[in-house]
Structure 1
Amino acid sequence: MSLIIKAPPLPLVFLLMIHGVSSAGWGVSYSPSHICALKDSSVIMNCTYTYPTRYQIMKVFWTKTKDKKDREEFPDLSKDPEYSQRLQYLGDKQQNCTMRLSHVTLKDSHEYYFRFITNITEGKWLGVPGVTLTVTDLQVESPERVTEGDSVRLTCKSSCTLTDRATFIWYRNSQPLTERRDRNNELLLQSVRREDAGRYSCAVHGHNHISPAAELNVMYPPKSVSVSISPSGEIVSGDSVTLICSSDSNPPAEISWFKGGTFVGSGRIYSNSKIRSDDSGEYKCRSINEHGEKYSDAVTLNVMYPPRNVSVLINGSGEIVSGDSVTLICSSDSNPPALNFSWFKENESSAVGSGQSFSALQSGRFYCQAHNQHGSQRSDAVTVTVHHGAGMNVIVIAATSGGLFIIIIIIIFIIQRKMKNRRSAIHEYENDSPSTGTYAALELKSRSSDVYNTLTTVHPRPALHQSGSIEYENP
């Protein structure tokens, strides 16, 4: 069906044509008449036209306006600044009226018409209805939240069905998922993993346009929970120390800290601005969210510190004969253990010995000094006093620490041995007979009263020294 409009007294005849039908040799045909194109793509509007052979084509062009108060002229899109660089007429002035429109935008969604003008004043034709162009964007539709192990379906959506049969390409975090290139606009993730989380976008193969990204949020309990210590090197008492708990979870987990089995704090970072030796131990963090919990492996915090609580111990408490020595031992608490020890006698600047133990051979006040790479500390002094008795040595050791005086008085076994020898001598003398050879060999005139007195004086007499120690006089 065709319609010829005559509007006297205007000398203009408009011939309007319904798609695919001509009237008396006049007509315009579009194939297809509806186009769904992807944003930023190129669109080809296939078009043919016919007119009576006695006419001659003078002008051809495409327009997008059909309603105009002044119907004498329609705008030529090739002269419109919005179209001039993107529109290309591929037809001729005979029968082909195909047109290409490049880099289409959402604003290009419209109905377009082909118009031709002949050499006859009344021979002007506008092909209506025209070609309906819908320009669409791509959008990824995905669930907001999924849990690890769920089956997930993502859809690449458009506002209309693309005219060209499209092959879809999927991207995760801007990287193409090459294994997922198919003609289906859906992406199926079976048993989704935490590694599948990310920003997904889609595109049509052969086109530059990529959809805006949609976030796929995969929920999972904490895996990969670990503790790091800063600084990572040697830690000395007084340093500032930070423990950091790293946890991979979604949603983010709550962090708790434990020393051994004791709760000591919360939060991803556990810090101590002035670490002490008592803070040494094994630490671990617990990461927990609504999907589960996990503990980290324990890490050891080893705090180094200089010697402290240095003291002198006295080794040996037995009987000491004349010429014996007293062994002093230096004890300390340090990390690492002290390996260097120096011994000093009070009021003397030079060391009198080294090593953890020291043999004292003379009277005096002695102290030790313990060293490691972090410092040193000296002990309180102990007093060693040697008292010399007749025929023996009585060694008195006074150890002073915290106001406590300990007096050790050692009486050596030689006293008992001498007493035993004296008793043996008396027994032998009393049992001897005057007729024996030994007695007979002794002349009475050679027996001095001194010898006799020596043999008969067998009972020792105790004497008390001013120092408070007890000595025995030699008879």
Structure 2
Amino acid sequence: MKCALKGSTINLSGSFKHPDNVTVAEKFWTVNPVRGQSISLMNHSDYRDRVQLFQNEEAMFFLRFSNVTHEDEGMYCLRILTGVEKQRFLGFPGPELKVTGTLRVEIPAEIIEGESPVLFCKTTCDLSGKTNFTWYKNGKRLSERIVSDQLLLPSVSSDDTGNYSCAVRDQKHLSSPAVTLSVRYPPKSVSVSISPSGVIVEGDSVTLSCSSDSNPPALIFSWFKENQSSAVGSGQSFSISSFNSSHSGRFYCEAQNKHGSQRSASVSVTVKESSSSLITVAVGISASVCVHVHFFSSHRKRVTSSEEQNPRGSRHSKTLEAPEDTYMTLDPQSRCSEYDTLDNMKRSCENTDDPKAQDPTYYNIVQ
């Protein structure tokens, strides 16, 4: 049986021998011969424009049949007529033609990365044998060395995912419908993104998002903080509200599907303290900061000349009065040289010879 695609062109062949004393008057192809009724295809209106006859040196006779349809199915025989009425010959049975609608590609139900699946180009009848095939991926022809109705894909990866089709050689216009081959694989290229992406200030809400390349898509996500044995969160997004320094550290996520899992590289998440917190810390870190600041009295008082006069004699003898709306400024550095905190400053100044330094009202300082 000869199988042909609808719309394709095929060749049917046959040969015969006869005694030397027989003169051949006519040779032609006929279809579904009936005794006493042999119609030449060349004279039939349904065939004459679609058939051609050829003969080679070995006395092989060929029928080239173009644009075949389902109505062309049947048995084709070579008929030989001689000059003698009763000397007629029929090559029976002849090749039987079966016409199929389209090609189709068959692939395994599930293909996992690393496997070596085989794709088949099939029809309702068998086109194999001497028929050469062409394979296409995403409309682009694969290697010319592939001429079989089977396509082997060794050790597939995600790169082999695509739309595959096949055709009988030189008849791309009759190729099969494309079939999508999808390679299954575990998560890869797992990464973490941070929102907001800029500087994180104490009190901000921070969201970490996990992404991956996998087939099927990963549905299980776990979040970890380095140096902690158990997960700190789950889900594709992980949020921390009111972020503070205790949350700082390196985080990573793990994506998982039914074929495996993979973890991301860790990302560092740190917090920049607010400006108010920085001032508080700066004042409390070291007493050396106090060296560069002045202390302001909260009590406004009048200063007499006797209180302000230099004990060793000063040419300023009249009474001095501070303006009502100002604060008196005490510069400890002008009174004593050895100080670093308020307590140390008081103890140091208690040992001075300056009598005003012994006045308890002299250090009227808000602490």
Q: TM-score, normalised by structure 2?
A: 0.58
Structure having the higher strand fraction is 1
Question: Per-residue deviation at 1:288?
Answer: 1.1
Q: Which position in structure 1 is the counterpart of 2:45?
A: 79
Q: Which position in structure 1 is the counterpart of 2:275?
A: 307
Quick check: 1:138–1:158 contact (8 Å CA) kept in 2? yes
Task: State how 1:174-189 maps to structure 2 within 5 Å.
Answer: 174-178=139-143, 180-182=145-147, 184-189=148-153
1:395-416 alpha-carbon deviations (Å, 9 max, x no partner): 599xxxxxxxxx9796464653
Larger Rg: 1
Question: Per-residue deviation at 1:42?
Answer: 0.3
Q: Could you tell me how far apart the structure 1 residues matched to 2:272 and 2:48 are?
A: 79
1:44 aligns with 2:11: yes
Residue identity matched to 2:51: Q
Q: Could you tell me how far apart the structure 1 residues matched to 2:25 and 2:275 are?
A: 113
1:263 to 209, 218, 232: 232
1:167 aligns with 2:135: no
User: RMSD of aligned C-alpha atoms?
Assistant: 5.6
Question: Per-residue deviation at 1:305?
Answer: 8.1
Q: Pick closer, same or farther for the CA change 1:144–1:266 going to 2, 3 Å.
A: same
Q: Could you tell me how far apart the structure 2 residues matched to 1:256 and 1:305 are?
A: 30
Q: Pick closer, same or farther for the CA change 1:91–1:293 going to 2, 3 Å.
A: closer
Q: Which position in structure 1 is the counterpart of 2:254?
A: 286
Q: Which position in structure 1 is the counterpart of 2:293?
A: 359
Q: Pick closer, same or farther for the CA change 1:203–1:56 going to 2, 3 Å.
A: closer
Residue identity matched to 1:266: G
Residue identity matched to 2:139: S
Structure 1 unaligned segments of length 5 or more: list them. Answer: 1-33, 118-123, 318-325, 329-356, 365-382, 398-406, 423-459, 470-475
Quick check: 2:205–2:242 contact (8 Å CA) kept in 1? no
1:416 to 342, 351, 366: 351
Q: Could you tell me how far apart the structure 1 residues matched to 2:97 and 2:73 are?
A: 5
Structure having the higher helix fraction is 2
The 3-state SS of whatever aligns with 1:294 is strand
Quick check: 2:192–2:211 contact (8 Å CA) kept in 1? yes
Q: Could you tell me how far apart the structure 2 residues matched to 1:198 and 1:410 are?
A: 82
Q: Could you tell me how far apart the structure 1 residues matched to 2:118 and 2:193 are?
A: 39
1:103 to 38, 46, 67: 67
Structure 2 unaligned segments of length 5 or more: list them. Answer: 82-87, 312-327, 333-341
% identical equivalent positions: 32
1:46-92 alpha-carbon deviations (Å, 9 max, x no partner): 47899xx99998xx99776779xxx9999999534xx676x234479
The 3-state SS of whatever aligns with 1:103 is coil
Q: Could you tell me how far apart the structure 2 residues matched to 1:221 and 1:37 are?
A: 43
Q: Could you tell me how far apart the structure 1 residues matched to 2:272 and 2:169 are?
A: 64
Quick check: 1:280–1:301 contact (8 Å CA) kept in 2? yes
Q: Pick closer, same or farther for the CA change 1:166–1:327 going to 2, 3 Å.
A: closer
Question: Per-residue deviation at 1:133?
Answer: 0.9
2:165 to 179, 187, 201: 201
Q: Pick closer, same or farther for the CA change 1:129–1:229 going to 2, 3 Å.
A: same
The 3-state SS of whatever aligns with 1:308 is helix
Q: Could you tell me how far apart the structure 1 residues matched to 2:23 and 2:72 are?
A: 37
Q: Which position in structure 2 is the counterpart of 1:8?
A: none
Residue identity matched to 2:283: L
Question: Per-residue deviation at 1:134?
Answer: 1.2
Q: Could you tell me how far apart the structure 1 residues matched to 2:273 and 2:44 are?
A: 86
The 3-state SS of whatever aligns with 2:159 is helix
Q: Which position in structure 2 is the counterpart of 1:297?
A: 265
1:132 to 96, 99, 102: 96
Greater RCO structure (CA 8 Å; 6+ sep) = 2
Quick check: 1:360–1:384 contact (8 Å CA) kept in 2? no
Q: Could you tell me how far apart the structure 2 residues matched to 1:316 and 1:130 are?
A: 110
Q: Pick closer, same or farther for the CA change 1:258–1:144 going to 2, 3 Å.
A: same
Q: Pick closer, same or farther for the CA change 1:408–1:142 going to 2, 3 Å.
A: same
The 3-state SS of whatever aligns with 2:8 is coil
Q: How many matched pairs?
A: 317
Q: Could you tell me how far apart the structure 1 residues matched to 2:352 and 2:221 are?
A: 73
Residue identity matched to 2:294: A
Q: Which position in structure 2 is the counterpart of 1:146?
A: 111
1:249 to 203, 206, 214: 214
